[in-house]
Amino acid sequence: MNAYVVLTVSGHDRPGTTAGVTEILCSYPVTIAQIQQIVLHNELVLGLTIRKESPFDFAQLQNEIDIFVSSRGMNLQIMTASEETSSHTQVSLLVTVLGNPLTPLAVAAITGNIAQHGANIDRIRQVAEYPVTAIEFHVSGVAQSDLRSALADVARRNSIDIAVQQATLDRRGVQLVVLDVDSTLIKQEVIDVLAYIAGVEDQVSEITHRAMNGELDFAQSLTQRVALLAGLPVAALTEVRSKIEFTPGAATLCRTLSRLGFHVALVSGGFSEVVTPLANELGVTNVCANNLEVENGLLTGRLTGPIVDRQGKAQALMDFARKFDVPMSRTIAVGDGANDLDMLNAAALGIAFNAKPYVRDRADSTLTSPYLDTILYVMGISRAEVELADRSSSE
């Protein structure tokens, strides 16, 4: 006698199906090893793996369940399973796929690559239908680095986003999410907006170009660019805010994370005089950024305090983690530039958001969607949970 049996019930969903099947099982010497259920467009699929604890008339059990489901216009399938098969469902990786649209060709390429690596898809979960389609595959039997590399090519060919991460309990605990600001939380680069107001756009652009060519490091380029702002009235910082636009989804992301009990921080190579008011608008109280020196109401062209550069961003992430007593295994960092790489690598999950190719190739996962709140889907937070959090806060 095989100890394990898999029961699959399918058909038009009606209340009481799961209750009825499990009530029948109560009369027999079995235990439930696994149970999963999904309802898609009012069609139900209920799967149970049961273990026979002692001999009994299995045909009688099968007949009882068959009569019950048939009376509801549903179907029953039964197959035996070995102990090895029944324990195979331990999930090791989560593959989150985001597409707008998500085509059958893309899904075929993803599932085909998973199969080519000898891996198994244990579960598929719909996370969101808009503003993008987001699907989560629970996968076992493959190394994370191997699958991530293979699926990165699939993502590029199909113009979709794919994140591969370990499925651990840390993902379900309170997390710290640290966001870069320029070209991530907001659409603009604040230094460029300031340069426009000060009339030194060309000079700032030239320094930025030299930095991108590797002639200057971030600290040198920042110092030289800030020097060009000397004499600018501090009141111009208010004008900067009028020219800044949040990235679509920024408010939803910060609002949802706060309502669900997560910690959010902004870490920027920009200026606290601009970043802090932006953070206040989003209800974010944790900010780490550079500070402009002001004398007699004018910018001096100098900074005060330590420069928040590439290493400084990573350190800020770790400092915020300590502040909130959040282990590094529960940290997420989001950024777009090379200046963010140390922070992305230090976090348990580093997300390159609309990033430069150099950054995309070195981050844990990449998002090319224009919506910042798609980060929630990579975290496993569904659209339904976002809307529930909004409703709960308004009641």
Place of tokens 């608008």: 281
Place of tokens 């070209």: 183
Q: Where are the beta strands (DSSP E) in the chain?
A: 4-12, 30-40, 43-52, 75-81, 93-99, 120-128, 133-140, 161-166, 176-179, 263-271, 287-295, 298-304, 331-335, 349-353, 365-367
DSSP characters over 251-299: HHHHHHHHHTT-EEEEEEEEEHHHHHHHHHHHT---EEEEEEEEETTEE
**Active-site pick, 180, 309, 342, 364:** 180
- 180 flagged as catalytic: yes
- 217 flagged as catalytic: no
Task: State which H helix or E strand residue 68 sits in.
Answer: helix 58-71
Q: Which of 59, 174, 129, 78 is nearest to 387 (CA)?
A: 129
- Find residue 54's DSSP bridge partners: none
**Active-site pick, 13, 122, 161, 182:** 182
DSSP characters over 341-395: HHHHHHSSEEEEES--HHHHTTSSEEE--S-GGGHHHHTT--HHHHHHHHHHHH-
296: left (phi over 0), alpha (psi -120 to 50) or beta: left
Tell me the C-alpha distance between 252 and 245, whole Å. Answer: 14
Q: 3-class SS at 75?
A: strand
Tell me the C-alpha distance between 233 and 185, whole Å. Answer: 26
Place of tokens 């891996």: 119
Which residues lie closer than 8 Å to 122 by C-beta, 6 or more apart? 88, 89, 91, 138, 139, 140
Supply 129's token pair: 């239908």
Q: Which residues are catalytic?
A: 180, 182
